[in-house]
């Protein structure tokens, strides 16, 4: 057995151990709030580019209808929230990481390597079909459920932030720090390099 083949087999064995570990660790409340608030703010930035003006009101007399900028309308928030939790399924699990960055949208280094081996013609057997490699694991499907619960429980809080605080404070600070998490549960919000650690007025 040459050195290259030995290295390949060793790599597969190591990755197999990582992938087969029965150590499912669902997202913590901090991770859930952080991911959801970041996703919602990103979605609001997308919808906030519109300069449309919408009319509200149901009076037959058009003069009595209210004209509102879409950017400041409730409709924008509703449309931004629509399908938000489905976006959680776009995340991948990076089990080699221990902080909240274990949830990220890019493919994990483990699977990049495994896909690379397959592309080179190396037979990799993980016990599941190749087409199922990228199916969301339990942690990701649970993340979607956790997202739905968070939005349901804190709907009014998010609406309050949207109507009066979004120009002065990040959602992550307002929602996660002030309403969802106790101080002892906010560690993931303080991770180096992450946004939302300080209030906008403190920057």
Confidence check: pLDDT of 71 > 90: no
- Work out whether strand 53-56 and strand 66-69 pair parallel, antiparallel, or are unpaired: antiparallel
Please write the tens of the pLDDT for every residue from 133-154.
566 789 999 999 999 999 999 9
CA pair distance 16, 75, nearest whole angstrom: 47
Mention every residue, 6+ apart, whose C-beta is less than 8 A from residue 135: none
Residue 55 has pLDDT above 90, yes or no: no
Taking alpha carbons only, the member of 177, 169, 174 closest to residue 156 is: 174
pLDDT at 62: 53
Reply yes or no on whether the pLDDT at 159 is more than 90: yes
What are the extents of the domains in the chain? 8-192
What is the average pLDDT value for the chain, to the nearest integer? 76
CA–CA separation, 132 and 154 (whole Å)? 35
Rounded-to-integer distance, Cα 143 and Cα 136, Å = 10
């Amino acid at each position: 057995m040459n050195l290259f083949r030995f290295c390949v087999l060793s790599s597969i064995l190591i990755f197999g151990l990582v992938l087969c570990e029965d150590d499912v660790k669902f997202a913590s409340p901090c991770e859930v709030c952080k991911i959801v608030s970041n996703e919602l703010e990103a979605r609001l930035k997308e919808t906030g580019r519109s300069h449309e003006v919408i009319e509200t009101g149901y009076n037959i007399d058009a003069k009595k209808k209210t004209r509102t900028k879409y950017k400041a309308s409730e409709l924008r928030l509703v449309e931004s929230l629509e399908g938000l939790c489905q976006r959680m399924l776009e995340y991948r699990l990076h089990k080699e990481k221990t902080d909240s960055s274990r949830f990220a949208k890019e493919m994990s280094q483990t699977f990049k390597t495994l896909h690379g081996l397959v592309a080179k013609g190396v037979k990799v057997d993980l016990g599941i079909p190749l087409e199922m490699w990228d199916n969301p694991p339990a942690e990701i499907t649970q993340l979607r459920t956790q997202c739905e619960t968070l939005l349901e429980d804190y709907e009014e809080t998010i609406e309050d932030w949207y109507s009066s605080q979004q120009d002065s404070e990040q959602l992550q600070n307002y929602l996660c720090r002030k309403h969802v998490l106790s101080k002892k549960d906010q560690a993931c919000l303080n991770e180096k390099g992450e946004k939302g650690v300080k209030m906008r007025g403190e920057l």
